[in-house]
Amino acid sequence: MSGQARPRVYVAGHRGLVGSALVRRLEREPVRLVTRPRAELDLEDPVAVRRFFEDERPDQVYLAAAKVGGIWANATYPADFIRNNLLVTLNVLEAARETGVAKLLYLGSSCIYPKMAPQPIPEEALLAGPLEPTNEPYAIAKIAGISLCRSYNRQYGTNFVSVMPTNLYGPGDNFDLATSHVLPALLRKVHEAKVTGAPTVTVWGSGTPRREFLHVDDLADACVHLMRVHDGSELVNIGCGDDIAIADLARLVADVVGYHGALVFDASKPDGTPRKLLDVRRLAALGWSARIPLREGIAGTYQWFLRHAQGTG
């Protein structure tokens, strides 16, 4: 980069779990960061998005703005999930093309893969079977985003790269019990049980589904790496390559928090997809692997929760 102007890098969704981790990571790179709070730029508004791109002229874009949520939120607000994610993706990709953005990284999600995909899930599983119904509207919006990136690349010669992160967690996570994913939900529930001296903590579902968890700082590092080394329409999964049963995750969280009560499983709540582990061989071949061990990541996230999120939600 020496001798050249530092690239202007726009992170869309910089206040979110992923976007804030990208900002932390990119602050260590020789780039000029561009961000806009939601109150100043409504990404659902195509005219505002276009104007913003014309004014700021980013060279690179990380599209991390998304309406996301856990199993309950997806079941309760399905129209919001599909509509917002489609609109934001349509607006940002079109503005990026119109203003000549050199490279864009689009963040999808592992829920784009079929419910019964082979495990670990290879990138080729995309569109090879029916989706998990609990988050189908969100998944379809994300799949449309991948198809948009590929279609723009084909028709316009853009360089819009799609990456598929596994379940993420870390500082900045959503700890609201109604809308959060399982890891922050368990951290909060176990913490509150410890504080109040409750004898049990309720875990949704059977405890047998397996999920992979990647620390969001690892994800941000992978994204910056892929922005550097990967071009074009080939999807890349981003995961740590390892999964854990929800019951074992709950035990690990209890251990980190220092809670000695019992876990109770509430079978009236949905399990969702039985297993979700990404095949990360393509990512490994591109020279990246995860570094943050799950226990260490959970401990750091618990510290963040104690400082920032306790008492909210």
Residue 70 found at the interface with ligand GDP (CB under 6 A) = yes
50 contacts 98 by C-beta, under 8 angstroms: yes
Phi, psi for 133 (deg, rounded to 5): -65, -25
Q: Smaller CB distance to ligand GDP: residue 4 or 268?
A: 268
Contact with ligand GDP (CB under 6 A) among 24, 32, 83, 269: 269
Closest by alpha carbon to 297, among 186, 109, 169?
169
156 is catalytic: no
Give the nearest distance from C-beta 265 to ligand GDP in angstroms: 8
Residue 167 found at the interface with ligand GDP (CB under 6 A) = yes
Residue 271 found at the interface with ligand GDP (CB under 6 A) = yes
Peptide bond connecting 120 to the previous residue in cis, omega within 30 degrees of 0 = yes
Contacts of 302 (CB under 8 A, 6+ apart): 187, 191, 256, 257
Give the nearest distance from C-beta 134 to ligand GDP in angstroms: 7
Residue 301 found at the interface with ligand GDP (CB under 6 A) = no
Q: What is the largest CA-CA distance in the chain?
A: 63
CA–CA gap between residue 13 and residue 20 (Å, rounded) = 8
Contact with ligand GDP (CB under 6 A) among 71, 224, 294, 298: 71
In angstroms, how far is the first alpha carbon of the chain from the final one?
A: 44
Residue 292 found at the interface with ligand GDP (CB under 6 A) = no
Q: Which amino acid is at 36?
A: R
Supply angle C-alpha 141, 70, 149, rounded to 5.
25
- Contact range with ligand GDP by CB under 6 A, out of 13-21, 60-68, 79-87, 181-189: 181-189
Q: Smaller CB distance to ligand GDP: residue 9 or 71?
A: 71
Supply angle C-alpha 193, 194, 198, rounded to 5.
45
Residue 272 found at the interface with ligand GDP (CB under 6 A) = yes
Total chain residues near ligand GDP (CB under 6 A): 20
Residue 67 found at the interface with ligand GDP (CB under 6 A) = no
CA–CA gap between residue 49 and residue 41 (Å, rounded) = 7
The enclosing H or E element of 95 equals helix 78-98
Residue 185 found at the interface with ligand GDP (CB under 6 A) = yes
Residues in the chain: 313
- Contact range with ligand GDP by CB under 6 A, out of 47-55, 146-154, 269-277, 292-300: 269-277
215 contacts 170 by C-beta, under 8 angstroms: yes
Q: Smaller CB distance to ligand GDP: residue 158 or 167?
A: 167
Binding mask 221-260 for ligand GDP (x = CB under 6 A): -------------------------x--------------
228 contacts 175 by C-beta, under 8 angstroms: no
Supply angle C-alpha 264, 265, 266, rounded to 5.
120
- Contact range with ligand GDP by CB under 6 A, out of 93-101, 174-182, 228-236, 291-299: 174-182
Q: Smaller CB distance to ligand GDP: residue 58 or 165?
A: 165
- Contact range with ligand GDP by CB under 6 A, out of 38-46, 177-185, 222-230, 289-297: 177-185
Annotated catalytic residue, options 62, 138, 152, 169:
138
Q: Which amino acid is at 2?
A: S
Q: What residue ranges bind ligand GDP (CB under 6 A)? A: 70-71, 111, 135, 167, 180-182, 185-186, 203-205, 209, 211, 246, 269-272
Q: Would you please indicate which residues are annotated as catalytic (active-site) residues? A: 138
